[in-house]
Chain A
Amino acid sequence: MVQSCLTQLPLQQLTKLLQQREISCREILQAYLDKIHTFNNHLGAFLQVADREKLLSLADESDARWQKKQNKSALDGIPIAIKDNIHVHGLKTTCASRLLHNYSPPYEATCVEKLREAGAIFIGKTNLDEFAMGSTTENSATQQTHNPWDINKVAGGSSGGSAVAVSAGMSPLALGSDTGGSVRQPASFCGIVGLKPTYGYVSRYGLVAYASSLDQVGPMARDVYGATQLLNAIGGFDERDSTSIRSAPVALEALQRNIAGKKIAILGEISNYINPHVAKVFEQSIESLRSLGAEVTEVEFPFFDYVVAAYYLIATAEASSNLARYDGVKYGQREERKTYQEMLTATRSQGFGKEVKKRILLGNFVLSSGYYDAYYLKAQKMRRRICHLLNNILHSYDAIVTPTTPNTAFTKGESEQDFMKVYVADVTTVIANLTGLPAVSIPCGMVENLPVGLQIIGGALQEQQILNIAYQFEKTQQKQFIPKLENIDTQQQIVHKNIATQNKAHQSFSEQLQQVRASYKAQPQHSRIYNNDLANHVAKEVTICGWVHKINKLGGVEFMIIRDATGFAQVVVENSSEKYELETVVRVTGIVAREKRSPYGEIEIAKPQIEVVGHSYAAPPLSMSTNPEGFNLPTVLDNRPVSLRNPQILSTFKIQSLVVRFFSGYLRSQNFFEIKTPKIISTGTEGGSNIFPLDYFGRKVYLAQSPQFYKQTMVGSGLERVFEVGPVFRAERHSTTRHLNEYTSLDFEMGFIHNEQDVIDMQEKLLRHIFQNLQQTYADYVTDRTLDLAIPDTIPRIHFLEALEIIKSRGGKAVQQDDDISSIGEQVLHKYCLEEHNSHFVYVIGYPQQKRPVYTMPDERLPGYTRSFDLLYKGIEITTGGQRIHDYEMLCENIRKGGGSLEDVKDYLSIFKHGMPPHGGLGMGLERLTMKIMGHDNVRHASLFPRDIHRVSP
């Protein structure tokens, strides 16, 4: 058994352990996820890591299959990292570009689909040079990736993230893409195995194109066996890629074959390009091959000068065209501008990094008229020639070997200074891309603590051949190429600590495995409990979390009051040396004790260990422990994000949340469906001037005043009963204690009613449900006052004309304006109902037609009046509702009479044209209702972030 820990195992051994059920997929996955958790910050391999819970549940499914010996493949349950230019369902594909930073692909790459079918688990997306253009991963617009052997060196590229992920044990396998060496070169720099298959062996469908005739997806692994398994899983013909080819998988037993007698060529002229230290390691590798019985011969290949030239001319030309699609029209980060041309240029100029822009410009130069023949065509002819030559060599030889790269990993920033050095460094790898031939890089030695790779190139579709040689060569290597991660960052002790536990090389594997297992099974010492739950944990050690609300000093003892979402806890701190600023966020572990003197449930926490998890840098502008009634409202609202922390202020919103909960809950029980309707609309619902216009890409649109039309539409759609909790906008220039310009409307609409009385009946039952439930629960949330939540058995219903009489008789003319009920009138009515009916609520029914929108159902019994109503609660209107006209012709007639145009509302009218049940509904203002329930005198108290005529922030 190899002496190394789980994340250092090559795939072949992982598979063996899985087969023998000595280890589970869950354990493997957790080990790798933990490694990512510990090291990704330092190495920058991953751009995204998939959701842990989802991954674990996939691993469990795999385990179930292994258990039944029904595993889908050898890769079932094996984590795989994917280069972030290959589409994976459910993950973004950013290509490490600003332009695509938010792009979610609408489909999955074929190679990923195949892996998914094989049961593999996609652990995350890895960093790369932007759009795979580069050979250091320094061109990533997102983050830097560091070589785990030496963080001052580059990881190589463009598949640097994938190489580091495998090398540092963050994923056993990874996919990269190789256009000019982008799999093999970082594999070489990081000391792992990387393969570029024959062009067409793996489908390119779903690989974001850099240079289409050179791109190829390739496997990366710690060992040849792993690379082979991965290759077999992703290879094969794909009818979605016309350039893919039919091929047979590599036979695993073929890897075991003896390579004695194999004829291997080395290219004579290559020594001119190779660093002498690397050359020395290369010579040793050739000796190893000879010792395996291979015949190694030098052949002529006087074409290296042309290889890089042809490669860059072709690659940039194709890239310029492939990247033209990022124009901001369909996807990607668009820079809005006035014209298409400007938008296009701004989007591309700001979205692409400089290397990408440079290659696009160079490519367009190669293709532009007058240069095409001299550059592109010539390069293509040269390419054909190189093909011809290499194929001739491979006619007589089984493989060609070269060092994978002329150098070991570059120092960071080197490429910036000397791009030619980096270009020329591609000379060994690009020959395989230009010719489409398969090539594998395998670690073969070290130079100054950096790995060196050996490249083996084979004939077209001769993957089995080169992997066989690589496998046999791998067996001759004394050393496993595993970087020592302790060296990564000496300044960060935490890293050391983690490494110490994770990477004890002297422990036997099984011991380590036990340890790893134990750490998964053990629960964290205490899961956090809420303050209102402390009474259930008396005499036990618990952990609570929250804000330092108040500190009282008494003798040598500090009483620290901790506030959380549910209430307070008193923590007794003896001999404290620490000073805590109010509002510091802490995690406290201590013993729950009964203490009669504690004002917080006669309970306190003793012997606390206090951990600061969020520092407070200054005392808050408002006191959290003062009764807010002393504050003036503008100050409270100006400091809203902080003043909300005052528990008394916050309690209003806890109650508000309950109101919404009970509202929705009751309606759901009455077969209502919840709907969500748009708030940007093209025409006003109610008409009139109190509607906010909005610039919408140059068109004038409006913010919705109510969901009226859509509610009705949904009744007509066959849902019959619908409700919505959503914002509505009123551009009224009121500055009163009752008006907001944005408020939350609790709306419902119901079909198949007889008249407005059915709607009122429904609301009465709804209100009773809300108020009765509040009565039972509010004390858990509001501790500083009692709430008047009385609701009468029947809410009085009085006709509008009757209401006017009452107001007149009680307050005279002053309270009546324009035949409407003024706010003073509403208060008069409240008083009347309280006295006569012992009710804070009153329905006023039958408003005059001219006061109501055109869709309101006229009252056939009383011409000029409608079947509509308002509900007043404690002297303020909280609901407007009514029966709506449901007959098409009647509605048209009413709109015409109202001076409206049928054309303007033709979408709305279409609901009625095709059969609409009699229906009605209402809207209830959440803030006003909350305000009255809480007994506030201003509706702003009941709005989290009020929007009124003066205030749009915070």
Chain B
Amino acid sequence: MEKQINSLIRLSGVEIEKEQREILQEELQTFLHYAQIIDKAPDFEDDKLSTSESFMVDDVAVDWQGNLLENAPVLKESSYLVPPQQSKKHHEAKLEQSKTSTLENWEVVIGLEVHAQLLTKSKLFCRCSTEFGKTPNANTCPVCTGQPGALPVLNKEAIRMAILAGLAMNCEINNHSVFARKNYFYPDSPKSYQISQFEKPLCSKGHIVIENEEAQQQQVRLNRIHVEEDAGKMIHVGTPGIWGAQASAVDFNRTSIPLIEIVSEPDIQTPYQAKEYMTMLRTILVSMNICDGNMEEGSLRCDANVSLRKKGESELGVKTEIKNLNSFKAVERALEYEIKRQKEILDSGNVVEQQTRLWDDNKQKTLIMRTKEDSHDYRYFPDPDLRPVEVPAEWVTNLRSELPQMPLERKEQYLGYGLSQKEAIYLMHNPHYAAYFEDIRAIHPNAKAISNWFFSEILSYVNARSSQIHITPQDFADFLQAIDNEEISGKIGKQVVKEAFMSNKGLMQVIEEKQLRQISDEGAIAKIVEEVLQKNEQQVAAYRGGKTTIFGYFVGQTMKASHGKANPGMVNKILREKLDG
């Protein structure tokens, strides 16, 4: 009992006097008695509460009076200062870099929990804007700072996006799901609980397909996708990092931004696959415009569970959870490190301890964050402030019809156009370029020509300047047509692209302004040739006298006279006719 009361005191964040402890014990007995009373009640059917229509509001980012919130933050605090976290020592694993990287007879089991911020305008439970990079606590209101008496109201758009994600990942969409409170104390959690989904998530089961190291398609099953709110951000003063900071300030701008958590089954076997899985998830989310996929800004985050087991065994080994993986590279590196670490422990005959570890990108190591003993008791229970989410089947059907093409299908399509593997993969992971590509193709169907110019010219300028493509699909198509018509040569074409990017002009605009169009009018070229031959009577005589090696001279003179714009093929042809004819 004493131990139980101590643990309750820790969970509750309150200390009580001795005599109160005795009263508490007595009352716990009363509660036990209550539970027994209820137990003794005659059996009855678990009839459901009358299902009430779920209530959601539109995604509008305005206050309740209808004013845009941008310039009118309700709360004025620029920061909420808190004392530092309890200092803990980093237990760094003292490990020599293992020489062998083979796994010998071990098998790796990886499961990922991916958090993706949804691109709604307003937050999940209030109407604050979700805009990134505002001054601290500019995007806050009584609801998302957990003021007494404030209540959450669900943003419908977040549910729409989460359903889309579920459909894209082949999930079952549950027409009845429930928001629950996950209780824990942390300064960035203003209510001291996170509203999440626990027993009844919005989406269950599902899978996505990735390509593994052998370029073979592999299915990764999903356990669930649920909707939850993000936490605030801690700004640590003093030494960087959570521990050892002198003080911290809390910025609640991020608080309550909608997240979906995508939980995979432990179907991933290598760090490479984990990275591919993440990449594929990102592509799917970005192509549906429900997440910006920016890992540096934390719009997409990943925790990984990893364990090792003897080959052939079916039971899972003890796992560790790795947090703070904020790039694709970090996912891969951290897992490699962690696998190596676990393998060494197991090889030496020891057992892996169940831990939560933190990836340190600077040290390229995982560090211990908490052990199983410190693990939280989150005391989940359905949030009484929110009604269950009822999703009508019709809504799901409509959303299903909105689904865009999925990445691997897209890749197949581009391979079918004759694009290289590399080009097809690039377009798969860059859906907005794929869309651009398709827009051009609708006007100019030669996919190969588009990809040649797109990958070797356009993209290199875009990447070099990390700019947007300013060339419209129509302009691009016209440009390709001009090349097809031999109105400009390939060489001139490259100059045109360069000039277009230098001056931020359209391709056709450059061609027109610089008058770069080739002369392909036979009469016009013949006229220039005529003039050239007249001016060079001696050479003509020499040629005709058998010195045919100077043919190139006439070509050169003609090109010069046409300012380089004459179609070289035609020049050749006409010169031969005139000289030889």
Chain A interface residues toward B at CB < 8 A: 85-87, 93, 95, 100, 103, 105-107, 109, 204-209, 211-213, 239-243, 305-306, 308-310, 312-313, 317-318, 320-321, 324-327, 329-331, 336-345, 348-349, 352, 354, 357-358, 360-362, 364-369, 372, 374-376, 378-379, 381-382, 384-385, 387-388, 419-420, 697-699
Instruction: Give 9 closest A-B pairs by Cβ, nearest first.
Output: A324-B192, A309-B34, A213-B384, A367-B379, A212-B384, A208-B148, A349-B15, A698-B246, A325-B146
Q: A321-B181, A367-B381, A384-B47 are in contact. Are A312 and B34 (CB under 8 A)?
A: yes
| B184-207 interface (Cβ within 8 A of A) | 185, 187, 190-193
Q: A329-B80, A330-B146 are in contact. Are A368 and B190 (CB under 8 A)?
A: no
Contacting pair A240 B64 (CB below 8 A): yes
Contacting pair B31 A339 (CB below 8 A): no
Whether, in the assembled complex, B132 has its beta carbon less than 8 Å from a beta carbon of chain A, the answer is: no
Q: Which residue of A lies closest to B153 (CB)?
A: A242
Contacting pair B191 A325 (CB below 8 A): yes
Please measure, in the bound complex, the distance between the C-alpha atom of A3 and the C-alpha atom of B193, giving whole angstroms: 56
**How far does the Cβ of B179 sit from chain A's closest Cβ, in whole Å?**
10
Can you list 26 A-B contacts with CB-CB less than 8 angstroms, sorted by A residue number?
A100-B148, A106-B142, A109-B149, A211-B384, A241-B153, A308-B34, A309-B34, A312-B34, A324-B185, A324-B193, A325-B146, A330-B77, A340-B84, A341-B185, A349-B15, A357-B12, A358-B24, A361-B24, A362-B31, A365-B31, A368-B7, A368-B8, A372-B380, A384-B47, A385-B41, A697-B81
Interface size on B, residues (CB 8 A): 78
Please measure, in the bound complex, the distance between the C-alpha atom of A521 and the C-alpha atom of B181, giving whole angstroms: 58
Contacting pair A388 B20 (CB below 8 A): no
Please measure, in the bound complex, the distance between the C-alpha atom of A211 and the C-alpha atom of B149, giving whole angstroms: 11
**How far does the Cβ of A818 sit from chain B's closest Cβ, in whole Å?**
41
Whether, in the assembled complex, B464 has its beta carbon less than 8 Å from a beta carbon of chain A, the answer is: no
Whether, in the assembled complex, B13 has its beta carbon less than 8 Å from a beta carbon of chain A, the answer is: yes
**How far does the Cβ of B124 sit from chain A's closest Cβ, in whole Å?**
12
Contacting pair A358 B23 (CB below 8 A): yes
Whether, in the assembled complex, B150 has its beta carbon less than 8 Å from a beta carbon of chain A, the answer is: yes
CB-defined contacts of B231 to chain A, threshold 8 Å: none
Please measure, in the bound complex, the distance between the C-alpha atom of A297 and the C-alpha atom of B151, giving whole angstroms: 41
In the complex, which of the residues A95, A243, A329, A420 contacts B187, with contact meaning CB atoms closer than 8 Å? Answer: A329
CB-defined contacts of A345 to chain B, threshold 8 Å: 13-15
Which of B48, B49, B151, B377 neighbours the largest number of chain A CB atoms within 10 Å of its CB?
B151
**How far does the Cβ of A114 sit from chain B's closest Cβ, in whole Å?**
13
Contacting pair A698 B193 (CB below 8 A): no
Q: Which residue of A lies closest to B186 (CB)?
A: A340
CB-defined contacts of B154 to chain A, threshold 8 Å: 242
Please measure, in the bound complex, the distance between the C-alpha atom of A367 and the C-alpha atom of B377, giving whole angstroms: 9
In the complex, which of the residues B12, B37, B48 contacts A360, with contact meaning CB atoms closer than 8 Å? Answer: B12
Please measure, in the bound complex, the distance between the C-alpha atom of A376 and the C-alpha atom of B150, giving whole angstroms: 24
| B86-101 interface (Cβ within 8 A of A) | 86-87
In the complex, which of the residues A374, A387, A419 contacts B35, with contact meaning CB atoms closer than 8 Å? Answer: A374
CB-defined contacts of B74 to chain A, threshold 8 Å: 106-107
**How far does the Cβ of B375 sit from chain A's closest Cβ, in whole Å?**
10
**How far does the Cβ of B195 sit from chain A's closest Cβ, in whole Å?**
11
In the complex, which of the residues B11, B39, B64, B142 contacts A368, with contact meaning CB atoms closer than 8 Å? Answer: B11
Contacting pair B148 A239 (CB below 8 A): no
Contacting pair A369 B379 (CB below 8 A): yes
CB-defined contacts of B502 to chain A, threshold 8 Å: none
Please measure, in the bound complex, the distance between the C-alpha atom of A875 and the C-alpha atom of B250, giving whole angstroms: 54
Contacting pair B14 A107 (CB below 8 A): no
Contacting pair B8 A697 (CB below 8 A): no
Contacting pair B151 A349 (CB below 8 A): no
CB-defined contacts of B14 to chain A, threshold 8 Å: 345, 348-349, 352, 357, 360-361
CB-defined contacts of A375 to chain B, threshold 8 Å: 31, 34-35
Contacting pair A420 B146 (CB below 8 A): no
CB-defined contacts of A209 to chain B, threshold 8 Å: 148-149, 385
In the complex, which of the residues B5, B83, B193 contacts A337, with contact meaning CB atoms closer than 8 Å? Answer: B83
**How far does the Cβ of B474 sit from chain A's closest Cβ, in whole Å?**
43
**How far does the Cβ of B349 sit from chain A's closest Cβ, in whole Å?**
33
Q: A209-B148, A378-B39, A699-B237 are in contact. Are A240 and B153 (CB under 8 A)?
A: yes
Contacting pair B8 A361 (CB below 8 A): yes
**How far does the Cβ of A33 sit from chain B's closest Cβ, in whole Å?**
27
| B137-182 interface (Cβ within 8 A of A) | 142, 145-154, 181
Please measure, in the bound complex, the distance between the C-alpha atom of A204 and the C-alpha atom of B28, giving whole angstroms: 30
CB-defined contacts of B57 to chain A, threshold 8 Å: 239
In the complex, which of the residues A103, A309, A312, A699 contacts B148, with contact meaning CB atoms closer than 8 Å? Answer: A103
Contacting pair A242 B82 (CB below 8 A): no
Contacting pair B379 A312 (CB below 8 A): no
**How far does the Cβ of A816 sit from chain B's closest Cβ, in whole Å?**
48
**How far does the Cβ of B460 sit from chain A's closest Cβ, in whole Å?**
37
**How far does the Cβ of B186 sit from chain A's closest Cβ, in whole Å?**
8
Contacting pair A212 B12 (CB below 8 A): no
Please measure, in the bound complex, the distance between the C-alpha atom of A368 and the C-alpha atom of B142, giving whole angstroms: 28
CB-defined contacts of B190 to chain A, threshold 8 Å: 325, 329-330
CB-defined contacts of A364 to chain B, threshold 8 Å: 8, 11-12, 379
- The contact string, 1 if C-beta is below 8 Å from chain A, for chain B 31-67, is 1011101110100101111000001010000001000
CB-defined contacts of B215 to chain A, threshold 8 Å: none
**How far does the Cβ of B66 sit from chain A's closest Cβ, in whole Å?**
11
Q: A313-B35, A340-B187 are in contact. Are A330 and B80 (CB under 8 A)?
A: yes
Whether, in the assembled complex, B472 has its beta carbon less than 8 Å from a beta carbon of chain A, the answer is: no
**How far does the Cβ of B237 sit from chain A's closest Cβ, in whole Å?**
7
CB-defined contacts of B75 to chain A, threshold 8 Å: 106
Please measure, in the bound complex, the distance between the C-alpha atom of A526 and the C-alpha atom of B42, giving whole angstroms: 77
CB-defined contacts of A85 to chain B, threshold 8 Å: 149
Contacting pair B86 A341 (CB below 8 A): yes
Contacting pair A344 B13 (CB below 8 A): yes
Whether, in the assembled complex, B238 has its beta carbon less than 8 Å from a beta carbon of chain A, the answer is: yes
CB-defined contacts of B83 to chain A, threshold 8 Å: 336-340, 342-343
**How far does the Cβ of A497 sit from chain B's closest Cβ, in whole Å?**
42
Contacting pair B12 A320 (CB below 8 A): yes
Contacting pair A321 B148 (CB below 8 A): no
Contacting pair A361 B12 (CB below 8 A): yes
Q: A357-B16, A368-B377, A697-B247 are in contact. Are A239 and B146 (CB under 8 A)?
A: no
CB-defined contacts of B16 to chain A, threshold 8 Å: 349, 354, 357-358, 361
Whether, in the assembled complex, B522 has its beta carbon less than 8 Å from a beta carbon of chain A, the answer is: no
In the complex, which of the residues B13, B31, B84 contacts A312, with contact meaning CB atoms closer than 8 Å? Answer: B31
**How far does the Cβ of B293 sit from chain A's closest Cβ, in whole Å?**
31
Whether, in the assembled complex, B386 has its beta carbon less than 8 Å from a beta carbon of chain A, the answer is: yes
Given contacts A105-B142, A697-B247, 19 further A-B contacts (CB under 8 A): A105-B147, A240-B153, A309-B35, A310-B34, A320-B183, A321-B379, A325-B190, A327-B192, A340-B82, A345-B14, A354-B16, A357-B20, A360-B12, A368-B8, A375-B35, A381-B44, A382-B38, A419-B27, A698-B247
CB-defined contacts of A382 to chain B, threshold 8 Å: 38, 41
Contacting pair B9 A361 (CB below 8 A): yes
Which of B8, B13, B148, B379 neighbours the largest number of chain A CB atoms within 10 Å of its CB?
B148
Q: A107-B142, A339-B83, A369-B379 are in contact. Are A313 and B34 (CB under 8 A)?
A: yes
CB-defined contacts of B148 to chain A, threshold 8 Å: 87, 93, 95, 100, 103, 105, 208-209, 325-326
Contacting pair A420 B38 (CB below 8 A): no
Please measure, in the bound complex, the distance between the C-alpha atom of A213 and the C-alpha atom of B383, giving whole angstroms: 9
Whether, in the assembled complex, B387 has its beta carbon less than 8 Å from a beta carbon of chain A, the answer is: yes
Contacting pair B13 A310 (CB below 8 A): no
CB-defined contacts of B24 to chain A, threshold 8 Å: 358, 361-362
Please measure, in the bound complex, the distance between the C-alpha atom of A379 and the C-alpha atom of B38, giving whole angstroms: 7
Whether, in the assembled complex, B485 has its beta carbon less than 8 Å from a beta carbon of chain A, the answer is: no
Please measure, in the bound complex, the distance between the C-alpha atom of A206 and the C-alpha atom of B379, giving whole angstroms: 25
CB-defined contacts of A239 to chain B, threshold 8 Å: 57, 64, 153
Q: A239-B57, A369-B377 are in contact. Are A327 and B185 (CB under 8 A)?
A: yes
Q: Which residue of A lies closest to B39 (CB)?
A: A378
In the complex, which of the residues B35, B41, B145, B187 contacts A327, with contact meaning CB atoms closer than 8 Å? Answer: B187
Q: A321-B181, A344-B185, A361-B12 are in contact. Are A207 and B38 (CB under 8 A)?
A: no
Q: Which residue of A lies closest to B4 (CB)?
A: A365
